Amino acid sequence: MPCYEFEGLVPVVHPTAYVHPTAVLIGDVIVGADVYIGPCASLRGDYGRLIVKQGSNVQDGCIMHGYCDVDTIVEENVSVGHGAILHGCVIRRNCLVGMNSVVMDGAEIGEESIVAAMSFVKAGFKGASRQLLVGSPAKELRQVTDRDMHWHGLNIQEYQALAGRSARSIKEVQPLAEMEPNRPHLAGVTDVQPKM
């Protein structure tokens, strides 16, 4: 993976985390245990510290960046969906940040909350726990249910398993010219429990 020191600070990646080879880590970045960082994610710790805690995932094309003297924090068991941007904010444990959402400086997403896809959380927003936030600017639509959290737990479980699967099996290759006969489908995730 492209990993760069910045002004004496070198990114830290726990040995059980998986960072895709096309993701970029710069400077003051801390990646915890069982974390999955997806392809083309950019974690640019050249202003404030970026922290991704245990069991979380930051998916393809996500951007994390901060502001001077401010930590951008993704707590435990958080899913940050494809293309989301987190800037100088805090995402509390067991949250889901939907695809292409933006969470701005000083915002705090409460524990077990969901930011719907394509939502914009304005700077300074202070959320409560279990809020479903929707829109631009994001507003609470309803409370997050136990069923919502069940589905989120399954997503976390899949990405925690994917970190290990990726570490064991991803390698750069040349593409085939055509599909081989009887090409198998990928196996689903089974019998894996989320580390919560």
The answer as to whether 175 is a domain residue is no
Helix (H) or strand (E) holding 151: helix 146-169
Which structural domain range is residue 115 located in? 3-143
Per-residue pLDDT tens digits for 25-75 = 999 999 999 999 999 999 999 999 999 999 999 999 999 999 888 999 999
Residue 195: inside a domain: no
The answer to the question of residue 84 being in a domain is yes
Whether 90 is covered by a domain: the verdict is: yes
H-run or E-run covering 42? strand 42-52
- The CATH number of residue 125's host domain is 2.160.10.10
Q: What is the pLDDT of residue 125?
A: 98
**CA 8 to centroid of chain Cα atoms:** 25
Name the band, by pLDDT with cuts 50, 70 and 90, for residue 188: low
pTM: 0.93
User: Is 55 contained in some domain?
Assistant: yes
pLDDT band at 186 (very low <50, low <70, confident <90, very high): confident
Answer yes or no: is 75 within a domain: yes
Number of domains in the chain: 1
Categorize the per-residue pLDDT at 196 as very low, low, confident or very high, splitting at 50, 70 and 90.
very low
pLDDT band at residue 190 under the 50/70/90 scheme: low
For the chain, the helix, strand and coil percentages under 3-state DSSP, each to the nearest 5: 10, 35, 55
Question: Is 184 inside any structural domain?
Answer: no
- CA dist 130 and 160 (Å) reads 22
Quick check: is 156 in a domain?
no
